[in-house]
Amino acid sequence: MYNVSDQFMNFTTTPSDPSTKHILYTKQKHSCFDWLLAGEQKNGIYPIAGQRQVQCNFEYKSCNDVLSAGNEESGFYYLYKSPDQPPVYEECIFYKRDCKDWKDAGYTQTGVYTIRIEGFRLVDVKCEMDFEDGGWIIMQQRFDGSVDFHLFWDDFKEGFGDLNGEFWLGNEIVHQLTKNGDYEWYFKATAFDGDVGESRYFPFVVDNEATNYLSTATKLSGISSLTNNVQFTTRERDNDPRGAFNCAFKYGNDKGGGFWYGACGAFYPNGEYHNSVGGTYQKYVYWNNYRGYSESLKETIMMIRKRSCS
């Protein structure tokens, strides 16, 4: 029987060794991890502060076992890699769930970070850590035309390009991140004269592939892009509301990329890149509600970040 006081724990039998008597613990244990630090290594029921007993599972075979048990803090754990060998004390590095988690953990440099989605799947993302206190995941970036965006469904699903250059992050990754409705979406376009157009949405949700990655994008501020409640369209899969033609071909010099085309030619961030202002109607990268149908844009960037629903 365990006797728990506010100052110490004094019990007659330790959980891991019934022959040990009258062990005095001078510090309360508040979790299984505290017991692990105190030297306990076997699964069993342990007392913690508040006169409660909990089941502790220490016999992890891998870092994934540690993560499955709900421990997300990186650190050293006892891992039982072989049934006939003693455990090894090994460091487990657990990746964050998004760029905001990395920023909250003290990482402040913009760059490529690894995050964990869908349980244990690890993916690299580009984190913007300077704009509006950081923590943004960049989902699209264009500035020089070095990457062809006139690609197919699976390309946009999985993502393509160079995280240190031009790229599309991937619809499946964005779906996994935004499906709970706690992400905002920020879009910025830069004209060749340096002027900037912006748009912000919350909540921003991308549904699963069975819905053709249906978007929910409630505008908070900025210039309209007409991307709410629209299925994703690519050059070979026409899901846009204009049934007579595919928006990825009709506009953008017949070399448009995949996107949520709510009003077809009104917003074309993934069209063919043109390295000057241009002057051709509804071709290249353009945003009608910002600089009109005929003006090519120099740069575009789309970012998402977790935020409070309040």
Question: Which pLDDT score is estimated for 309?
Answer: 52
17 to each of 21, 26, 29, 129, 204, how far by Cα in Å?
Answer: 9, 19, 18, 50, 54
Task: Let me know if residue 277 belongs to a domain.
Answer: yes
Task: Let me know if residue 75 belongs to a domain.
Answer: yes
* Cα gap 241→29, rounded to integer Å: 60
User: Is the C-alpha dihedral spanning 243, 245, 250, 255 positive or negative?
Assistant: positive
* Predicted structure pTM score: 0.74
**Residue 128, strand partner residues:** 136
* Number of structural domains in the chain: 2
Which residues 6+ apart lie within 8 Å of 119 measured at CB?
none
Task: Let me know if residue 103 belongs to a domain.
Answer: yes
Give the DSSP H or E segment for 54. Answer: strand 52-56
* Cα gap 168→138, rounded to integer Å: 9
Question: Does residue 112 share a domain with residue 27?
Answer: no
CATH number of the domain that residue 266 is part of: 3.90.215.10
Question: Does residue 105 share a domain with residue 87?
Answer: no
Question: Which pLDDT score is estimated for 25?
Answer: 44
User: Quick one: tokens of 15?
Assistant: 């959980």
Among residues 92, 111, 139, the one where a domain terminates is 92
Task: Let me know if residue 13 belongs to a domain.
Answer: no
22 to each of 11, 39, 116, 260, how far by Cα in Å?
Answer: 6, 16, 44, 68
Question: Does residue 71 share a domain with residue 194?
Answer: no
Question: Does residue 195 share a domain with residue 282?
Answer: yes
Question: Does residue 252 share a domain with residue 107?
Answer: yes
**Residue 44, strand partner residues:** 56
Among residues 92, 107, 135, the one where a domain terminates is 92
140 to each of 45, 71, 274, 303, how far by Cα in Å?
Answer: 49, 32, 17, 7
CA dihedral 101, 103, 106, 108 (to 10 degrees): 150
Q: Are 183 and 305 in contact (CB under 8 A)?
A: yes
Question: Does residue 123 share a domain with residue 235?
Answer: yes
Task: Let me know if residue 6 belongs to a domain.
Answer: no
Question: Does residue 241 share a domain with residue 219?
Answer: yes
Task: Let me know if residue 9 belongs to a domain.
Answer: no
* Cα gap 298→2, rounded to integer Å: 70
pLDDT 10s per residue in the chain (310 long)? 222 222 223 332 344 443 332 333 447 788 777 887 787 777 788 888 876 888 776 778 888 888 777 777 788 887 878 767 777 888 888 889 999 999 998 999 999 999 988 766 889 999 999 999 999 999 999 999 999 999 999 999 999 999 999 999 999 999 999 999 999 999 999 999 999 999 999 999 999 999 999 999 998 999 987 788 999 999 999 998 877 788 887 765 567 899 998 877 788 899 888 877 766 666 788 888 898 888 889 999 999 999 865 4
Question: Does residue 162 share a domain with residue 61?
Answer: no
Task: Let me know if residue 15 belongs to a domain.
Answer: no
Question: Which pLDDT score is estimated for 205?
Answer: 97
Q: Are 101 and 266 in contact (CB under 8 A)?
A: no
Question: Does residue 192 share a domain with residue 247?
Answer: yes
* Cα gap 284→267, rounded to integer Å: 11
Question: Does residue 126 share a domain with residue 50?
Answer: no
Question: Does residue 103 share a domain with residue 73?
Answer: no
Among residues 76, 92, 108, the one where a domain terminates is 92
Rounded to the nearest 5°, which phi and psi values hold at 120?
Answer: -115, 5
* Cα gap 109→126, rounded to integer Å: 11
Task: Let me know if residue 1 belongs to a domain.
Answer: no
Question: Does residue 104 share a domain with residue 60?
Answer: no
User: Quick one: tokens of 151?
Assistant: 């690609």
Domain containing 82: what range? 22-92
Q: What is the largest CA-CA distance in the chain?
A: 87
